Each structure stands twice: as C-alpha cells, then as structure tokens.
Amino acid sequence: MFELRHRDAMGRLGTLEAGGRRMETPALLPVVSPKLQKIKLRELREMGFEGVITNSYLIHRDEGLREKALKGGVHRLLDYDGLVMTDSGSYQLYEYGRVEIGAREIVEFQDAIGTDIGVILDIPTPPDVTRERALAELEETLSRAQESVGVERRCLLAGTVQGSTHPDLREESARRMGSLGFDLHPIGGVVPLMEAYRFRDLADVILRSKLRLPPERPVHLFGCGHPMIFSFAAALGCDLFDSAAYALYAKDGRYMTPEGTLRLEEMYTLPCTCPVCSRYEAQELRAMDIGEREVELARHNLYASLQEIKRVRQAIHEGSLWALVEQRARSHPRLLEALTAALGYEVLERSDPVTKGSPFFYSGEESLQRPEVRRHFLRLRELDTQGRELVLLPEGRRSPGPASGKKYHICRASPVFGVVPQELEDVYPLGSYEGPSPPTGAQVGFMQAAVAAYAKGFGHVHTHSSLDLGIGETFEDPAGFGPGDVETKLRGMADYQFGRGAGRLLVRRIRVEWARTGRMRRLYSGKKLLATVRASDGFYVLGMEGAKRLLGLPAPRNRVVVDKEAGEFVGAGRNAFAKFVRAADPEIRPHQEVLVVDGDDSLLATGRALLNGPEMLAFRRGIAVRVRHGLRDEEGEAQGGEGDDDPG
C-alpha cells in the first residue's frame, strides 16, 4: 500500500496505492464539494492533483447524491478518476454537536460507494479542553475505531489520532490506534492550532503522534492546506495534507504564497507565473465579477499549493528539506519558534539520512540543532583516539599530514559542528557545508561550548592563537603537531561510520589506491577490495572482503538479518526487501552502509539501507537494503566501486 523511494528529515517521498490508484507523497488532497464544486474535478486532475477528499456524510444525507453514489460510485459522482478519500462527518460533528449516522454505518457506506480511503467517525476534540473531556472523547473515538476496523471492506481505512493538546493522550491515542490494524492515520483536532498560528503546539502534536504510530503507515495532517507549512509538516513526517483553504481564502479575496497570504485588494502585481497570474493583472482580477474572481483566485491558490508540494518533493529527493524548512520558517516568527522547538526531539535523528546529495547550509542558529549536528556529536564518541593532547586549529588551517598522530589529536574548531577531527574533514557533512564568514555570535558561543566539553577528555590542550576560546596553551605554527599517517585517518573514518572498533578491523594490512586528484579511492588487501572511499561524501562503500572484516564487530552492529527464503537471492546480489527482514540493528539509519546476514550471522551481501532499523521490521513493501555486492558476486569485486559516487 505504501512504499518509500526517497527521504530527508522525516519527510518521505513515496507511493501510496489504494483502490488500484496510485498517488505520490507528500500529497495535497483538495477538499471538494459533492454538490457545489465551482472548479471541475477534471481540471484538478489536469493541474496535477492525483487525489481529492470529499464528505461521505453529506453524500449520505442527500437522497439524490446517495442514490447516484450507490449506483455508480463516488468517482462517477464527482467525475474524477483519481484517488478519492472520503471524510466521515466528523467535521459536522465538531460544528453542530451531532450527526445522524453511526460509526459502523458510515464506514459501510464509504465502502459501498467505492471510496479508495475511508475515515472513521472520530470525536474531533479541540485544543486546550480539560484532560477529563479529552480522555472521555478519546475513549469514545477508540471505541468507534475498534467497531469500524472490524467492518468487512475493500477500501483502505484511516484511524484518526486525537487527544487535544495533552501530550500523553496524543501518544496513547497513537499507540492504541496503531495497534488496531488501520491502513493510515490522520492527525485530527489541529485546525484551531493552525488558525491561531500555534505552530509550536502543532509540532508537539505531530511528533508525539509519530513517536507511537507504526512507521510503515502514511500520516495525514487534517486541515493543513496552506503552502507556508507544507515543508515543516513534511519534515516532521506528515505524508498527506488536505484543506478547503484554497476556496475559503479565495472567497475572502486572499492570495496564497509559500511565504504567507496577501490580500488582493492591496496587491500591486501578481508575484506568480501560474496560468491565472500569467493571464491577468492584479487590477483585472479586482475588476471581475465577485463569483468569477473567487474562482480565479481559487485556481491560483491551488496552483500555488501544488507548486509548493512539488518543491517539497524535490527537496526530499535532493536532501535539502531542512534548508527549505529553514527558509520557510522565516515567513513567520511563530513558525521559526516551532522549528527551533521541534529540533529538540531526538526522534528526528533516527529518520534523517546519514549522507545526502546536498551540502549542509547554515541559515541561522536553529541549524546548530539539526539532526546532522546532533549525530556528529554522537559519532565523535565512537572514535578510538590515540593522542592524549588536543590541538585546536581554526577553519581553513591544517597540521602536516592527513590526520592526528599518536601523541596529538588534531581538530578544527568549527562554528557549525563544534569540533572536527582532522581525519574526518572529508566526511559528510563535515567537509560539505556552507556558513557565514565571520561566524555569528550564536555560532561562536556554540563552538566554545562544544570545544570546552570535548576538551575534558584530554590531558593537555593546545589552541591556535587566532581562536579566542579561553582554553589551553596558545601556539602560532601548527607544523610541530604532526604528521599523522594515512592509516590513522582511515581508522578514524571507519570508527565514525561503523562504530568503535571498526577501524582496527577494517584497516590492517592494506594497500591504498589513489585517484588522480590525490584523494584516496580504494582500499585493498592484496588483490581483494576492502572498500571504496566515495568521493562525494567521504564514506566507505564496502566490498565483500571489507564486510567480512566488520563481522568482527559484536552483533547486531550494522547488521540486517534476512530469512532463509530471501538469503539465496540476496547472496546473488538482489536487493533485500523489507518483508524478508527478520532482525536489524536498531541504530541503523537511512543511507547507512550495512551488512546483510542470515540467521547464523553468515555474510550474504553488503549494501545501503533505505530504511532505519525499526522501519525494516515494520514495512511489508519496498526495499530495505539496496544491495551492492552479494556473496556470489565476490569474484568480480576487484572491478567494483564504479558508480558509487552517488550518496543517495
């Protein structure tokens, strides 16, 4: 039903399949009226919308619509051949306090009219209600969910997470709803938060829900229809959005942009090149009949929304989603506040790829809390450091040799990553980032704190005179601290990538092949390829001989275990699919180089993880590990490594 193809942050570029129809995620489903839709749904399809959402309760209440839908199906009723999701009447329940249909009956009706994705009749609890009310309504929602999920049906069914703004209830709702066997999960009761610009509370609701929901299921953020927050919500793990905002804003004379909303009456020009804005000037739209103007503004709002969805997809594909989120966050102070708060959640690091096709761009002090920075500090602990004296150099300065030596541990004081050992300077993201020069005050403070914490592990500290860190003895010329050797550099790179001890296992009795650029290209043991050093990110791409050496690390480190049925195919060099994974190191992160083994811990293959460890056990569709070399492919490995420059 749901398969991932690319990812960045917690954003997921994937494919959702329902009712024989496919839709790319992240996706926006415009809310359409079953009776009074002003823009024909065929036009929505032509624009590029692969799915819409309509209200099955309104169809059920209208005798004429009900009969047409039961006879010909909801797709024919709407004259739309894309994916159709139907809401259950929860919005009417929220607005009017009651609906004239039961939980089981509305699910049966949605299935009878051929919807692709149905939604349960949940209780939409607003923010800030008492815990007693939120708990009572949550229990009623869960009772209805249990009744609904037992309905025999063909459509997918969505179980909505509720709990108001009580963090523990959101987590409890997600955990229990996730255990009931639904196909996807909307997060409900959040529209008032978005309307009040309470984006920090919105982020908490999303992340609390994501923390407990099954990772293989798509997450739908109900009522999220403004392009300003698509990238933010996608980075927190939301796959689907819906809203009637495009039409409601148009009715009120409001013009959507990714940076916010403008009022048509105050606009000098139309800052967009969509078909509407290319055809008309601002004054021409203002001069239109009110009904015609409303339709044209709605069209623009749809184009602007879809364009932002596509921009989010591109950012996920190229690994620049965090950079896009940081740009968009500057459109409103509350959004920037929410981003800073959200980056404090550890769950973000578990899903963020270890290497990306886009460099790390510093755009503000919130960048210092991004998952890449947090992961760097975690992986620094894995280094098997020989030198007991710490040498601190400024940006752009190096000591002789490629790495630290037996006496000195040589590092760069970095205003983005705090401390960067010299042996890791070519490893992503440490060797691939851009920041302001000179650094900002926030960066200097961050660097000083990071250096002070790191220096506690060393007996003596030497600091270059150009660094105002207030620590250790100062020096002018770094020439006296070195030179380190190539093997020390290679061991440090291995420890950083695979964990403590990997360097000693991988880098012994080796021969290094150098590229014409002067950079290390491949590591051999005799004629057998141990690993290729990928030029784009400085990471090792393992050969089978190198993978065998890393089996010396204690299980389950870096391992993905597949069942016996899949072992033969994986060993022949075919990809390891998630449905055949029986165990996985929980510390595996997306795009990490991993070992694929059988139940006896015998090596079958090596490759790149597309999912993190827990996801490999949860997903039933798609590739878990993209295999590079299988056991039977070992003979031809000495020619391998070509084409391994793509980190994605």
Q: Are residues 384 and 445 in the same domain?
A: yes
Task: Report the pLDDT value the prediction gives residue 400, as an integer from 0 to 100.
Answer: 79
Give CA–CA dist 569/632, Å, rounded.
10
Q: pLDDT at position 636, please?
A: 42
Structural domain contains residue 298: no
189 domain-assigned:
yes
How far apart (Å, rounded) are the C-alpha atoms in residues 589 and 353?
Answer: 6
Cβ neighbours of residue 97 closer than 8 Å, sequence gap 6 or more = none
The pLDDT tens digits for 596-607 are 999 999 999 999
Q: Do residue 86 and residue 140 come from a single domain?
A: yes
Does one domain contain both 584 and 445?
A: no
621 inside domain:
yes
Bridge-based pairing state of the strands 83-87 and 51-55: parallel
> What would you report as the CA-atom Rg of the chain, rounded to the nearest whole angstrom?
27
| Domain-embedded: residue 399 | yes
Upper half-sphere CA count for residue 434 (Cβ side, 13 Å): 6
Which residues are registered as beta bridge partners of 502?
none
Measure the CA–CA gap between 158 and 106, rounded to whole angstroms: 13
Residues 33 and 165 in one domain: yes
- Do 93 and 157 lie in one domain? The reply is yes
173 domain residue, yes or no = yes
CATH code, 595: 2.30.130.10
| Helix (H/G/I), strand (E/B), else coil: 431 | coil
264 within domain boundaries: no
| Residue 639, pLDDT score | 37
Q: Which of 314, 348, 382 is the last residue of a domain?
A: 348
pLDDT for residue 479: 86
What distance lies between CA 592 and its chain's CA centroid? 15
Q: Examine residue 410 and state whether it is found in any structural domain, yes or no.
A: yes
Same domain, yes or no: 465 and 562? no
Is 453 in the same domain as 602? no
User: What are 330's two structure tokens?
Assistant: 């500057």
Say what the pLDDT of residue 403 is.
77
Whether 39 and 101 map to the same domain: the answer is yes
pLDDT at 647: 44
Average pLDDT per run of 10 along the chain, which is 648 residues long? 94 96 97 90 94 95 95 96 93 75 95 97 95 97 96 96 97 98 96 96 98 97 95 98 94 96 96 96 96 97 97 97 96 96 95 94 95 96 90 87 84 95 94 88 94 93 92 90 86 96 95 89 94 94 96 97 94 95 97 97 97 96 94 53 44
Q: Are residues 394 and 342 in the same domain?
A: no
Q: What's the structural domain count of the chain?
A: 3
Residue ending a domain, among 451, 480, 509, is 480
Q: In this structure, is residue 600 part of a structural domain?
A: yes
Q: How far apart are CA 123 and CA 167, in angstroms?
A: 17
| CATH code (residue 394) | 3.90.1020.10
Take residue 635 and report the two structure tokens written for it. 């003979």
C-alpha of 390 from chain center: 36
Last residue of a domain, one of 348, 380, 409: 348
- Please return the burial class of 362, using the count of CB atoms within 10 Å of its CB with bins 0-12, 13-18 and 19+: buried
Catalytic machinery residues: 87
* Domain ranges, residue 97: 2-245+327-348
Q: Do residue 339 and residue 407 come from a single domain?
A: no
Summarised one tens digit per residue, pLDDT across range 222-255 is 999 999 999 999 999 999 999 899 999 999 999 9
Claim to verify: residue 461 and residue 554 sit in the same structural domain? no
The CATH number linked to 222 is 3.20.20.105
Q: Is 130 found in the same domain as 72?
A: yes
